[in-house]
Amino acid sequence: MIFVALIHFPVLNRKGEVINSAVTNLDMHDIARAARTYGVHGYYVATPLEDQQKLAADLAGHWLKGIGGEKNPDRKNALGIIRIVNDIEEVIQDIEAQTGRSPEIYATSAVKRGNCITWQAMRERVQSDGEQPFLILFGTASGLADEALAMADGVICPISGPSPYNHLSVRSAASITLDRLAGI
Amino acid sequence: MIFVALIHFPVLNRKGEVINSAVTNLDMHDIARAARTYGVHGYYVATPLEDQQKLAADLAGHWLKGIGGEKNPDRKNALGIIRIVNDIEEVIQDIEAQTGRSPEIYATSAVKRGNCITWQAMRERVQSDGEQPFLILFGTASGLADEALAMADGVICPISGPSPYNHLSVRSAASITLDRLAGI
């Protein structure tokens, strides 16, 4: 069982400082649609800021309760997977309440770390135990801060292609991650 | 050699009618960043509408010539891969001028067709001949219209996960496609 969380705090800015990033409409939509495609059990949008939580709820609500959902039921279906939460602790509690098990937590990063988990190992792990929840963390802005990485059981190796360029959007990175873990 | 084209005409709306779709900022950014990551040789944004071509040029120009590029050189590097063109014919001519060979053209679709090309076959084909240009077409809105599909040598099978839901954003679909063809 895969769960994903899009983290808006604590994340880094381009200078490496810890910041709160802003919730964006397309991060919610694109990742919700990918999550539905790949059978993800929950997509958490995590921000501790009340105004950002309200913004996220309004953006989702347009499609869930408003005219958007009537016009586009596929989008309504996708956005229904989103849960807006304060932080990673709240994500863990919610997964425990839903599944009765503590999630194994894996962070994603565009920076290669020596002991990173390979994609093949990660896919095998996720596919080998259908009852175990796996929580994959994605950082907005310039990626997860150390305090967020420290909550993970491991960090997955960066997504890579033949070029050294490694600046995928978080929407692309999340989509590719789900395809690598659960694509057919 | 992979080239990608994001097609804004002829594409379908939700009712299946042929339309011109609007250029969007994030389609340009996300796909350019994925294209750079996966070593794509050119990313064409195709629209026959002059005002849309101007919008696309302005969006890219902010990062290429304006203050955006100074603040974020990685983004400038990514957007430099974009060429704004009228249509698929112009894409083909440009690739022929650059490479001296006619591209093999493959369309993408969320709808499964009987004779679609599997991902494994497509990846092997792309990786087997480093000199041959391959052009991958992505449709905006609800996907490529028949007139665009008819220009392709084949249609790649839909991206799929364990769920029947098949409404990825074109940004996600393009990112996953490039990962499937050129990911490491």
d(CA A50, CA B102): 55
Are B13 and B19 spatial neighbours (Cβ–Cβ below 8 Å)? yes
Question: Closest residue of A to B178, CA-based?
Answer: A161
Tell which residue, B127, B138, B145, has the closest CA to residue B170.
B138
Tell me the C-alpha distance between A36 and A73, whole Å.
13
C-alpha span between A4 and A18 (Å, rounded): 21
Residues of chain A in contact with residue B76, where contact means CB-CB under 8 angstroms, are: none
Q: Quick one: closest CA in A to B166, which residue?
A: A37
Q: What confidence score (pLDDT) does residue B4 get?
A: 98
Chain A: residue whose CA lies nearest to B176 = A176
Q: Collect the ranges in chain B with pLDDT lower than 70.
A: none
pLDDT for A58: 93
What are phi and psi for residue A134, nearest 5 degrees? -120, 125
What ipTM did this prediction achieve?
Answer: 0.96
CB contact under 8 A, B78 and A167: yes
Using alpha carbons, list the distances in angstroms from residue B124 to B46, B130, B180.
27, 11, 11
**How many helices and strands, by DSSP H and E, does chain A display?**
8, 8
Identity (one letter) of the amino acid at A31? I
Contact A5, A32 (CB under 8 A): no
Q: What pLDDT was estimated at residue A39?
A: 97
Question: A108 pLDDT band (50/70/90 cuts)?
Answer: very high
pLDDT digits (tens, 9 = 90+) for A27-65: 999 999 999 999 999 999 999 999 999 999 999 988 888
Q: What is the pTM of this model?
A: 0.96
Model pLDDT, residue B65: 83
**Going by C-beta distance under 8 Å and a sequence separation of 6 or more, which residues neighbour residue B114?**
none
Closest partner CB to A182 (pick from B75, B161, B168): B161
